[in-house]
A and B are shown apart, each in its own frame.
Chain A
Amino acid sequence: KAGVTQTPRYLIKTRGQQVTLSCSPISGHRSVSWYQQTPGQGLQFLFEYFSETQRNKGNFPGRFSGRQFSNSRSEMNVSTLELGDSALYLCASSRRTGTLNTEAFFGQGTRLTVV
């Protein structure tokens, strides 16, 4: 069974640019969550998508957005990049349907560096 796949693995962008990251969840998983990981702040929740709808959102500015497609694949977009956006962006997928928590499985992440 393939795991969570995130592309690209590494990305270098310039301040002011925008970036799109991709996540393919485990087959059969309909929930995709995105997290930002930095040394100082740890893992911070960005948002969760389920059945193409954003179900929950963390405390991040509107420059961070996402979407989910009918095949459950998800993308997140960051516009007007700032130096502080440099981080490891992680995607997690889970089977969970309603509000019942089930195991979340992470991809290897996309390392974004903003210069």
Chain B
Amino acid sequence: QQQVKQSPQSLIVQKGGISIINCAYENTAFDYFPWYQQFPGKGPALLIAIRPDVSEKKEGRFTISFNKSAKQFSLHIMDSQPGDSATYFCAAPDGGSQGNLIFGKGTKLSVKP
């Protein structure tokens, strides 16, 4: 069974700083790696995703970097804002034929004003 290891478990960043969250996966038959953002009392919302025909994808202040050989990918949040305070989950398809998403355990980000 695919495991996705996410770190750190929690992260405190000053407003305007860079938040970096890392994930590592084991095996996957499919190249699709999304990040989800979850606020308290809400379901996870898709933030950004990468299909690694590229090594990096940027959307606004959010960037995914992907290293296929190392089986690692990371989320960078530039100019972090207090409104970014949430729990972030990375996910990777499992190694089976259906490619269901397996999630990391989450990173609780707090951005201090």
Instruction: Give A residues with C-beta under 8 Å from B.
Output: 4, 6, 33, 35, 41-45, 48, 55-56, 59, 90, 92, 99-101, 103-109
* Residues of chain B in range 23-37 having any CB-CB distance to chain A below 8 Å: 29-30, 32, 34, 36
CB <8 Å contact, A48 and B42? no
Instruction: Give B residues with C-beta under 8 Å from A.
Output: 1, 29-30, 32, 34, 36, 41-46, 49, 89, 93-94, 96-106
Q: Indicate the member of A41, A48, A99 with the most B CB atoms within 10 Å.
A: A99
Q: Indicate the member of A101, A107, A109 with the most B CB atoms within 10 Å.
A: A101
Asked, given contacts A42-B105, A42-B106, A45-B101, whether A106 binds B1 with beta carbons under 8 Å apart, the answer is: no
Q: Which residues of B have CB within 8 Å of A99?
A: 29-30, 97-99
Asked, given contacts A41-B105, A42-B89, whether A106 binds B100 with beta carbons under 8 Å apart, the answer is: no
Among B46, B49, B100, B103, the residue within 8 A (CB) of A48 is B100
Asked, given contacts A103-B49, A107-B43, A109-B43, whether A42 binds B103 with beta carbons under 8 Å apart, the answer is: yes
User: Within the assembled complex, what's the spacing in Å between the Cα atoms of A109 and B93?
Assistant: 22
Q: Which residues of A have CB within 8 Å of B34?
A: 103-104
Q: Which residues of B have CB within 8 Å of A42?
A: 89, 103-106
CB <8 Å contact, B89 and A43? yes
**30 CB-based A-B contacts, threshold 8 Å:** A33-B100, A42-B103, A42-B105, A43-B44, A44-B103, A45-B94, A45-B100, A45-B102, A48-B100, A55-B98, A56-B98, A56-B100, A99-B30, A99-B98, A99-B99, A100-B30, A101-B30, A101-B32, A101-B99, A101-B101, A103-B34, A103-B46, A103-B49, A104-B34, A104-B46, A104-B101, A105-B45, A106-B45, A107-B43, A108-B41
CB distance from B103 to the nearest CB of A (A): 4
Q: Which residues of B have CB within 8 Å of A107?
A: 43
CB distance from A96 to the nearest CB of B (A): 9
